[in-house]
Structure 1
Amino acid sequence: MKAIWKDKIIAESSNTKVVENNHYFPREDIKEEFFKPSDSHTRCPWKGKASYFHIEVDGELNKDAAWYYPEASHAAKPIENHVAFWNGVKVTE
């Protein structure tokens, strides 16, 4: 699977995990140079507290376009520290 934004591959993995129709990429399979820390957080009732990244490609910023669970709940442990995308990021094979 590949995550693409602005025609750049920002993550690529043959080891994603699918939860609620979202592909979660292992943290080691994202291209860190495109990811900027965000102060945003949300809470999922069953997965726990999510943290976010902004994605920056060629000087253009996509705010909070990636999220992950640094300390996932017991039920969501398989996706702990895996990164998922939205907000215009295309995930494709």
Structure 2
Amino acid sequence: MKAVLGDTVIAEAPEDELIKIEGNWYFPPASVKSEFLEKSPTPYTCPWKGECQYFSVKDGDQLLQDRAWSYPTPYPSAFDRVGKDFSDYVAFWKEVQVTE
């Protein structure tokens, strides 16, 4: 699976290494090209996953606000709900397309 913005692959990993949560594919941290992400100050806490870290995605000279996110330290109960540890896995939104 790949997370692609335009012609740029931002993350890539075999599907069996990804985790699908609430319809979103989460990529393992090592599969994400961090040079395309910039931490965002946008605050959010999911009631069952915990505190979220948003990232803006670099698209050339443009910065697409809050188009990626992860949960650095999810609530322990979330691991039971998801079935595995998804700490620091990254999901993408809007212009970033996840494809096979």
TM over 0.5, shorter chain: yes
Matching residue of 2:87: 80
Letter in 1 for 2:28: P
1:29 aligns with 2:47: no
Matching residue of 1:92: 99
Letter in 2 for 1:5: L
CA distance in 1, matches of 2:43, 2:24: 18
SS in 2 for 1:33: helix
Q: Calculate percent identity across the aligned residue pairs.
A: 41
Matching residue of 1:40: 42
Query: Greater CA radius of gyration, 1 or 2?
Result: 2
| Structure 2: unaligned runs, 5 residues or longer | 80-84
SS in 1 for 2:44: strand
RMSD value, Cα = 1.1
Relative to the length of structure 1, the TM-score reads: 0.93
**Cα deviation 1:33-53 (Å, max 9, x = unaligned):** 111111112111110110111
| Structure 1: unaligned runs, 5 residues or longer | none
Relative to the length of structure 2, the TM-score reads: 0.87
CA distance in 1, matches of 2:13, 2:43: 25
